[in-house]
Amino acid sequence: MSKGPVIQGDYRPVALQRVGEAKLLIQWSDGHRSEYAWRWLRENCPCATCREHRVTTTSAQQSGITTAGSGGKISLAVVHAGEVAGSPYQAVSVTPVGRYAYKIVWADGHDTGIYSFELLRQLCQCSDCRSLSAWANQGDA
């Protein structure tokens, strides 16, 4: 039997680091160094609630509805005490989920987003990834 067990992907985080209050750095096994504003990560939270919120907000903005209660198109979210007290852009912890993702616990208590390694690479805000993304967007235009 020549082949060994197969593991998906050829990159995984080897180090995580907070940079001040605002940023997270991830050093990957393939040498890439990702940086993220915490705010950016929260705004791209992949949990079902946040995805739904983004879709609703976008469609409301597109239809010109920007305030809650206008025609019943925007639902009112229930906010718990932790969300009021803590900052939604401050991470309390970043812990592995299985072998494929990270869970971020935010200061406002939100903790349902599972950030897969693939998603984290897509969200990378380092200068190389930003220019690549800008170049791709130009191509789309």
Partner 1 sequence: MSMPIHGAAPQKIVLPGVRYTLAVASGKGGVGKSTVAVNLAVALQQKGFRVGLLDADIYGPSVPMMLGLGTVDPRLAKFPLEKFGMKVMSMGFLVPPERAVIWRGPMVHKAVSQFLSDIDWGELDFLVVDLPPGTGDAQLTLTQSAPLTGAIIVTTPQDVSLIDARKGLRMFQEVRVPVLGIVENMSYFICPKCGERYEIFRHGGGQRCAQELGVPFLGAIPIDPTVAIQGDLGVPIVASHPSSQVAKVYHQLADRVIAAAQEIQTKETPLPAL
Instruction: Give the interface with partner 1 as residue ranges (CB under 8 A).
Output: 1, 3-9, 12-18, 24, 46-48, 51, 91, 93-101, 103, 111-112, 114, 116-119
* Choice between 18 and 73, CB closer to partner 1: 18
* Choice between 74 and 91, CB closer to partner 1: 91
* Choice between 5 and 72, CB closer to partner 1: 5
The least CB distance from residue 28 to partner 1, in Å, is 11
The least CB distance from residue 91 to partner 1, in Å, is 7
The least CB distance from residue 67 to partner 1, in Å, is 29
* Choice between 64 and 136, CB closer to partner 1: 136
Tokens representing 28 are: 């990957």
Q: Which of these, 121, 134, 137, lies nearest to 36 by C-alpha position?
A: 121
* Choice between 35 and 65, CB closer to partner 1: 35
Nearest 5°: phi and psi at 78? -85, 125
The least CB distance from residue 16 to partner 1, in Å, is 5
Q: Is the distance from CB of 25 to CB of 33 less than 8 angstroms?
A: yes
Under 8 Å CB-to-CB from 49, ≥6 apart: which residues? 112
Give the integer Cα–Cα distance in Å for 82 and 52: 21
Q: What angle do CA 114, 119, 122 make, to 5 degrees?
A: 155
Q: Which of these, 54, 49, 39, lies nearest to 80 by C-alpha position?
A: 49
The least CB distance from residue 100 to partner 1, in Å, is 4
